[in-house]
Amino acid sequence: MPYPFQLGFQDATSPVMEELLHFHDHTLMIVFLVSSLVLYIISLMLTTKLTHTSTMDAQEVETIWTILPAIILILIALPSLRILYMMDEINNPSLTVKTMGHQWYWSYEYTDYEDLNFDSYMIPTQELKPGELRLLEVDNRVVLPVEMTIRMLISSEDVLHSWTVPSLGLKTDAIPGRLNQTTLMGVRPGLYYGQCSEICGSNHSFMPIVLELVPLTYFEKWSVTML
């Protein structure tokens, strides 16, 4: 969960999100160094009247400022491509959950079980219990086992939606007539919140997502009670 006045990302709960955080820090450091260099050169140009005539027509300098940006772009592109392939890779999922977006709620179906499906609506503010979060709590949470590869099949029945859980590094569009898939694996139990991230109508801000990651034994007991 984010906290008030938070400037950074939420704590990572999946290997993919950890890689995204590392890539963010890596890229931010490159941007900081380049910006500092440019600011230093601009300040020199504004504060000194001395001009070195040799640098006005120097092939060596032109070679450096052509090759150096190319190297910087390669240092950014290589880890970026690695993470992109990692996010698209799905290896033998242990569980498949189909998510359908509606105006304005989510419905879930555990395809590995018979008749294990439910709708997930936001709890109205006047019905919240002490300690529950406004606009984020739902009546039916998505219970998933930790440390297991889970495939999410995401689509929509009406308009564009987007199934997003920031702490897991997940954001997949729900498109009518198209079935998108993504994979997730939580590394520790807990409650993880998300929301629809695609403007889908007047109640777009009232369709939250709550994932409850639990140990496998608890998940098995929960699935038996839901059947």
Which of 88, 112, 136 marks a domain boundary?
88
Q: What is the pLDDT of residue 51?
A: 67
Q: What is the pLDDT of residue 54?
A: 64
Which of 70, 88, 106 marks a domain boundary?
88
Domain range for 113: 95-226
Q: What is the pLDDT of residue 53?
A: 63
Residue type, 29: M
Q: Kindly report the pTM of this predicted structure.
A: 0.84
Q: What is the pLDDT of residue 1?
A: 72
Q: What is the pLDDT of residue 44?
A: 84
- The tally of domains found in the chain comes to 2
- 3-class DSSP assignment, residue 57: helix
Beta bridge partners of 107: 100, 119
Q: What is the pLDDT of residue 191?
A: 93
Q: How far is CA 7 from CA 3, 56, 59, 99, in A?
A: 9, 43, 43, 31
CATH number of domain containing 190: 2.60.40.420
SS (H, E, C) 3-25: CCCCCCCCCCCCHHHHHHHHHHH
Q: Are residues 108 and 185 in the same domain?
A: yes
| Residue 119: Cβ within 10 Å count | 13
Q: Are residues 84 and 99 in the same domain?
A: no
Closest by CA position to 193, among listed 170, 160, 172: 170
- 3-class DSSP assignment, residue 172: strand
Q: Are residues 73 and 113 in the same domain?
A: no
pLDDT, tens digit only, all 227 positions of the chain? 778 888 888 889 999 999 999 999 999 999 999 999 999 988 988 888 766 666 666 778 788 888 999 999 999 999 999 999 988 888 789 999 999 999 889 999 999 998 899 999 999 999 999 988 999 999 999 999 999 999 999 999 999 999 999 999 999 999 999 999 999 999 999 999 999 999 988 888 899 999 999 999 999 999 998 87
Residue 6 falls within a domain, yes or no? no
